[in-house]
Structure 1
Amino acid sequence: MFRVLLIIAWLAVTVYAIADWARTPEEEMPGRIPRILWLIILLLTIPSFSIGSIVWLIVRSVARAEAGGSGSGGVAGGRPILPRPQRAARPTAPPPPVAPDDDPEFLFKLERDIRRRRAEEDRRDKREGGPSADDSPSDPGTGPDRSPGPDSPGPADPSDSSDPSDSPTDPR
């Protein structure tokens, strides 16, 4: 049983090393050994328990660690370490939701709606406050559902008004 596991491990290391070799770009080859030479080493050392594959995995992991930790370049073992080529940026996850009071677009729409409502109220007040065609000349600006006009007697102080829309507790 141990022999079978040993053979399976031997083949797994070899197959993994060859697959890793196949997907490694030329400029990232460990030890600056040419790509084809690494393949020859991997294939020729299969009978000797894949020593080449084990060496590939060790040297490749060290080269990855050095390239990731060195940043923009340096010297290792007398050979210059070239910077890693820039790869295309991976798509990022969408940004997390923003609270409404922090969202500039929401705040803009809210301000626009508030201005629009105020403009409508101003227009309505001007329409209701001014004389209209339905008013009789003797009693301008008063009617069953109209507020008193500017010439009609009314409360001197707006806070004395009985109109519920003018109350200070009414939220707008």
Structure 2
Amino acid sequence: MTNSPLTLFCLVDGQSTSKAFPVSIPSAESVGELKKHIKVEKAPRFDDLAADELTLWRVSIPVVPADKHKPIVLDEVDSATDLDPTDDVFDNFSDKPPKKAIYNIVQRPPPGNTVCVLPPEAIQAITERLVGRFRLAVTDIEKAIARNEPGGWKVAVDDT
């Protein structure tokens, strides 16, 4: 096994090859570490996720200038293989990857599968800020009502 650096061109699912980005990683590192490198490289795009929530798919998609703006959708790629986070990068890319090709498609988890857990102190702080803002808004409304001239509130209605 070698530990030489390997540069892999990656693509986020649904983007065109014109949005491909390189990630350099020692070949003896794990696919899990590759996910961390991708998360850092694509910041802030994946800031709402932990690296282990990303799914990496091994592909070999040639970069063709005429198609560089055509979106690549994972469901339409026949040769995609999901990568095990415990494998070494070398296990999946033992041959030197060809030039001018995409090697990995990065996939976000489906909506609703991401859980954000905040400590109770953070939840309390957010709640207090929201309640404070709500109270200010109510106070502003009460002041506006108190300043109102006789005749009550006026509402503009658009009949179109």
What band does the TM-score fall into relative to the shorter chain? under 0.3
Relative contact order higher in (CA < 8 Å, ≥ 6 apart): 2
Give the alignment's TM-score, normalised by structure 1: 0.20
Give the alignment's TM-score, normalised by structure 2: 0.21
Rg (Cα) greater in structure? 1
Higher helix proportion: 1
